[in-house]
Structure 1
Amino acid sequence: MKKALITGANKGIGFETAKQLLQKGFYVYLGSRNLKKGLEAVEQLRSEGLTHVEVVELDVTDENSVKTARETISKKTEALDVLINNAGINGGSPYTALESSSDQLMTTFDTNVFGVARVTRAFMDLLRKSPQPRIVNVSTSVGSLSLQSDPNWAAYEYAKYAVYGASKAALNMYTIHLAYELRETTFKVNAVCPGYTSTDFTFHHGREVEVAGNRIVKYAFIDQDGPTGKFFSEETNPETGEIPW
């Protein structure tokens, strides 16, 4: 049975992604910063007959928490097949470049960029033991420099979140470098935008969470002929999914 770790998986897109992986036969380590909420999420999944799941307390902004989570999982499995770096924050308001504070930037980057790097580095040895490891970094089209600077982009006028967008653009660059450094291995590393989804993150505006989960899960299942080091948003490009950095 393949094993997956999903960060920020006690609710929203992370929770739905966990559900879909469980339905496809995975064993899921459900990462949750709040243990109580994580346990509640696991109980909900088990009530639906999805039993191959357990919560792992994991705060991506805390080095000790990440280390402890890695030690916990390593006692339960020799290999990790999929890492989905889903945990993220929107940075809060004010959203503009001129008004947002340095504290906003630091806090948002700590979760959306540094947190991804912490978790990826901590679990790399377990991922290397999988025959076909997959890393999916949950990004957003808002983090595309090309789209953000294109007046013809459909979301040009309203998708302006300076702090959040900057953090996701940085995550995209991290994804490119990670894929490059792993290019001679069986790893596949990609950035995936789940689209505008109805969750707490968007104040419950947007598409159904099932659509977002499916978009992420797709890249956990790509074969050895599949892409790596790419940026995908099926909402932005329904034909091939790939969008410019």
Structure 2
Amino acid sequence: MKMTHRERFVVKFHEVDFRGKVKLFTIMDYIQHTAEVHGTSIGLGFENMMNHGLFWVVSRMKLNMERYPGACEEVIIETELAGCEKLFCVRRFTILDGKENIIGNATLYYLMVDAKTKFPQKPKVCPIDIINVDVDNKGHEGLKKLKMPGDEPLVINRALYYNEIDANNHVNNAKYVSFVEDCFSLKWHEEHEIASMQINYVKEIKAEDTLKLNIYSEEVAEKIYYINGTNEDSSLEFFQCKVNYR
């Protein structure tokens, strides 16, 4: 079984922002596509998992970007299975440009969920052995829970729109990246870019939900923000995020 896989993409004009650089949302799309293709090839794709009464959900993700390619540049996404941490199944990604220079990386934590009960399952019930994968964990950080700072947040109320709802009647996890980016003005994005972003997905956002974004600034470091998405009365949390700009 091949534990690594790579896909090549060419950045299209509609995938860049006003600076002419690929959007982080697009990179997340590339990452998900690469994971889906690799998963299908080794028996972990949607159809095969559903035949076993299981499906995957992304629980946590972290993206680090050193450079954002422009339109017509090539982007290579390389992925590998990286073992398990408790209930989480880990997949790592290396992001390269067309000259094979590393320009970023990502880690995604997946949960394997029972299709009927919707409860997370232990990795040992996976159709293939993902527990005993030979993994080099040296230098790789785990994705921990995020805690919002205690200061008063800036609050943005946001409706959900047609293009943000997928075939499962909820927001695809790549869209959360856009939610975070949209918390900041065009002026801010003219002068800053995202160096890293971690999102912990707590509960799915459905079409009928209304999203309240609570934005906290980091007290001890500039350009670091914590954001959590809740419903209007804040009794239900959808996601947590830490974003580091440079």
Q: When the two structures are superposed, what TM-score results if normalisation uses the length of structure 1?
A: 0.29
Q: Which has the higher strand share?
A: 2
Q: Which has the higher helix share?
A: 1
Q: When the two structures are superposed, what TM-score results if normalisation uses the length of structure 2?
A: 0.29
The structure that has the greater radius of gyration is 2
